[in-house]
Amino acid sequence: MSDLVIVGAGGFARETAAAAGPAWRVLGFVDDDPALHGTTRAGLPILGPVDSVREMAAAVVVCVGNPRNYTARKRIVERLGLPADRYATILHPSASIGAGSVVGPGSVLLAGTVLTADVTVGSHVAVMPQAVLTHDDRVGDYATIASGVRLGGGAVLETGAYVGAGALVREGVRVGAWSLIGMGSVVLTDVPSDEIWVGSPARKLRSADLTASPRS
Domain ranges for the chain: 2-64, 90-207
Q: Which of 92-101, 125-134, 163-172, 203-212 has the lowest mean pLDDT?
A: 203-212
C-alpha to C-alpha distance for 159 and 121, rounded to whole angstroms: 11
90-207: which CATH architecture?
3 Solenoid (2.160)
Question: Do residues 151 and 161 make contact, with C-beta atoms less than 8 angstroms apart?
Answer: no
Predicted TM-score (pTM) of the model is 0.95
Return all residues near 171 (Cβ < 8 A) that are at least 6 apart: 134, 152, 153, 154, 155
Count other C-beta atoms under 10 Å from residue 120's C-beta: 17
Higher pLDDT, 210 or 10: 10
Class of domain 2-64: alpha beta
**At 214, is the pLDDT very low, low, confident or very high (cuts 50, 70, 90)?**
very low
Per residue in 39-81, pLDDT (tens digit) is: 999 999 999 999 999 999 999 999 998 888 899 999 999 999 9
